[in-house]
Amino acid sequence: MKNAFCFIFIFCFSVITFAESKTQYVNPFIGTANNGHTFPGAAMPFGFIQTSPETGNTGWRYCSGYNYADSIIIGFAQNHLNGTGCLDLGDILFLPFSGTLKDKDYSSRFDKKSEKAIPGYYKVNLADFGVDVELTATDHTAFHKYTFNKGDAHILVNLQSGLSGDDNVLKNRVIKSNFNIENETIVSGQNRVRVWVSRNFYYVIEFSKPFKKSNELPKAKGENAKKIIFDFDVKPGESIMLKIAISTVSVEGAKFNLKTENPGWNFINLKNKANNVWENLLSRVKIEGNQAQKENFYTSLYHLYLQPSNIADVNGQYRGANDSVFTAPSKQYYSTLSLWDTFRAAHPLYTILMPERVDNLVASMLEHYRTAGILPIWTLWGKETYCMIGNHAIPVIVDAYMKGFRGFDIEKAYEAIKMTATTNHINSNWDIYTKYGYFPFDLEKKESVSRTLENCIDDWSIALMARSLGKEDDYQFFSKRAQFYKKLFDPQTKFMRGKDSKGNWRIPFDALGLSHASSFGGDYTEGNAWQYTWHVPQDVEGLTELFGGKEKLAYKLDSLFKLESTIKGAGFVLDVTGLIGQYAHGNEPSHHVAYLFTLLDKGWRTQELVREINDKFYINKPDGLCGNDDCGQMSAWYIFTAMGFYPVNPVSGQYVFGAPQLPKVTLALPGNKNFSIEAKNLSVQNKYVQSIILNGKVYDKEFINHIDIMNGGKLIYIMGPNPKINKD
């Protein structure tokens, strides 16, 4: 296996260019309604700034600060999260206006028809004020242009605002704030805030025209930051621009970011530059398909590339997990790592589509280990949130290592992996885990089953790397731990069940009962026994043995999709969405499940289901996503599935065959190579794979290897009607 993956990347992408614009198909409004939790504003790939409108800033509805169904905008903040289920950021809210603001009503109606969003640019008209707003961005700066059609220009700079769970948290989010008017065009300062994590941000704001007066609004109880209105002399139709840069390190760092990335006042030039960067990145993939398919595909690519975020300043400095300032050797330090979500498909997709960033992503994880003592779990602005379960930086690093990436210290990486998997920390009490061979629900009160299953994936990954490095004792230890999932399989009910420290199953047991640790507890993470029993992607053969063979496992698995789509449980269960029976596509533990049928000799069922999931849950409309995009993981599933394969085991270097959803996909790869996937005779009637041809030879395996793709070539699917083979 090692020989299949260890190869040298030449980071030189194909000189072939795909002339048709790809950014024209990106619709940033997809996922902005319901609970997709995406935002429509301007951002750069993997950038620190995501400047976007906000229509609300408290509660689950506003995890990204924006909901398409709203008709009111409260302002334009400088950073946001893409598709998450938790709230933070939304720092430094600007609201341009004419006339006077109503008492404590800092908002305006807006006309949906005036909204426009493309990669790197957003525009809207604030109807109540007659102000046209345009936004664009660089990696570390935002550029705003406000056209005051009525004259009488004012800009509210709200340093207290942000995104939080409720109004009380919002009022108390700012722990400390410093604000300085340097002159009549420049203001700067620093806030220390606490919502999801405690963090410092430093900023500098520069206006294109001197303000004539400033007026501080009164603070509410608990508020520590200022809300200031700046007044300007303008003629009707005149524009005022402002630039803002942020830093985790210092005001000087923010100023250097601004000077380096955005020194002038040419808004159109910067907008076009941002669009060109997106165009070049999106053009690494060319697809054939109809308008809706192209919009879904390129928007998914766009969402995939919004994060992780490089939070290091232009000079490479960043503030780490312990609040100390460090310099990243590569001048890149990535955070916004939603690893419980993204290790499944997003990171494997990065190794194909943007391999030049993978080494720095791993190096960033090792930097986090250096300052925090463990590898990242879910990091925001370099801080650990301890959100979700497992230690899924481990499979990401092992996957990179096994695929031949060597731009990081291998021994240091293994040290970080082993320490994280053996040193007790939040949600990972290894003493209990090793003693019992699982997490007993009476000793670990929350998510005992899910945490056991997730850790087995990590342990399998460690064993793989240990064997490759010749660490035989570690290989034996982690291989044994990787089998712990078997102790929670109940042979009577055929479910993964909670078990106490005496070996007793949890009673009563309801396989449909949902649980969510943060609001209810229970044995599962945002799911139930029906959804988590299949969560052994690293050892499908072992799971098959527990069920008594492929036929029995396939029969039980098929039942998952045929049950009633009921939501049964207490606490917060809004993440359990996109239901087909009890299959929940809106939540990540289900993402590999449909592909298991291929490994159970029933590939036709995989092909049937992925088409149904694709058609139901990926629609090019604001409410077209069935759940949180979760920092690109939902999008990654679609991209892989559209190409015709998926990384069921994300560390194996193998992609299990499904069925392509597009007539043709061409990938521009390192070393001037191209890999194309073509579906011959693809139609609604012919959606099943009859045969597979790889580089001119009939291919009879269940999967394609990573090395097969990265070496370039052609994969052809011959499509036809359902062969009805072994359909029982």
Query: What average pLDDT does this structure show over 171-200?
Result: 97
Determine the pLDDT at residue 329.
Answer: 84
| Domain extent listing, the chain | 32-282
Going by pLDDT thresholds of 50, 70 and 90, the confidence category of residue 11 is: very low
Q: Which helix (H) or strand (E) holds 309?
A: strand 309-310
Determine the pLDDT at residue 451.
Answer: 97
Query: What average pLDDT does this structure show over 287-303?
Result: 98
Residue 297: strand, helix, or coil: helix
Percent of the chain whose pLDDT exceeds 90: 91
Percent of the chain whose pLDDT exceeds 70: 95
**Are 96 and 154 spatial neighbours (Cβ–Cβ below 8 Å)?**
yes
Report the alpha-carbon distance of residue 612 to residue 629 in Å, rounded. 19
Going by pLDDT thresholds of 50, 70 and 90, the confidence category of residue 725 is: low
Determine the pLDDT at residue 393.
Answer: 98
Report the alpha-carbon distance of residue 652 to residue 163 in Å, rounded. 38
- Non-local CB neighbours of 574 within 8 Å, separated by 6+ positions: 35, 60, 85
Determine the pLDDT at residue 39.
Answer: 98
State pLDDT tens for residues 405-417.
999 999 999 999 9
Query: What average pLDDT does this structure show over 63-68?
Result: 98
Q: Which CATH number fits domain 32-282: 3.90.1150.10, 1.10.10.10, 2.70.98.10, 2.40.10.120?
A: 2.70.98.10
Query: What average pLDDT does this structure show over 339-350?
Result: 98
Global pTM value: 0.96
Confidence check: pLDDT of 4 > 60: no
Tokens of 487: 């102790």
Cβ-in-10-Å burial (0-12, 13-18, 19+) of 413 comes to buried
- R_g of the chain computed on alpha carbons: 26
Determine the pLDDT at residue 517.
Answer: 64
Cβ-in-10-Å burial (0-12, 13-18, 19+) of 700 comes to exposed
State pLDDT tens for residues 508-562.
999 998 887 655 668 999 999 999 999 999 999 999 999 999 999 999 999 999 9
